[in-house]
Amino acid sequence: DGGASALDEVVRRLTEALDLITFFTASDKETRAWTLRQGQTAFDAAGTIHSDIARGFIRCEVIRWNDLLECGSHAEAARRALQRLEGKTYVVEDGDVLNIRFNV
């Protein structure tokens, strides 16, 4: 039926109108999608997840979602040098997978 594609189109247009992007957190057990406004930083992303993570932000590992899927794991992505370390001023891009390192 066309309902799913119509809903997808409404969500896509609203996301664009609100200037939102989607980033992900992924582990062996769980993958979650989060939203941020276009232009927000890794520090902002950390705060979206939890204020304690933002407070203790050290740095984050970043990989593109498609690269992670192709590699199959964070370890393989790192081996292929597709995963990089970024600081709190890194501007998160739509489709980034973040592993935020923090200490509280």
Whole-model pTM?
Answer: 0.85
d(CA 2, CA 8): 10
- Which residue(s) pair with 99 in the sheet? 61
Tell me how far apart the 2 most distant CA atoms of the chain are, in Å: 49
Which amino acid does the sequence have at 36?
A: L
- Summarised one tens digit per residue, pLDDT across range 26-73 is 988 899 999 999 999 999 999 999 999 999 999 999 999 999 999 999
Question: Is pLDDT larger for residue 9 or for residue 41?
Answer: 41
Give the per-residue pLDDT at 80.
96
Give the per-residue pLDDT at 32.
96
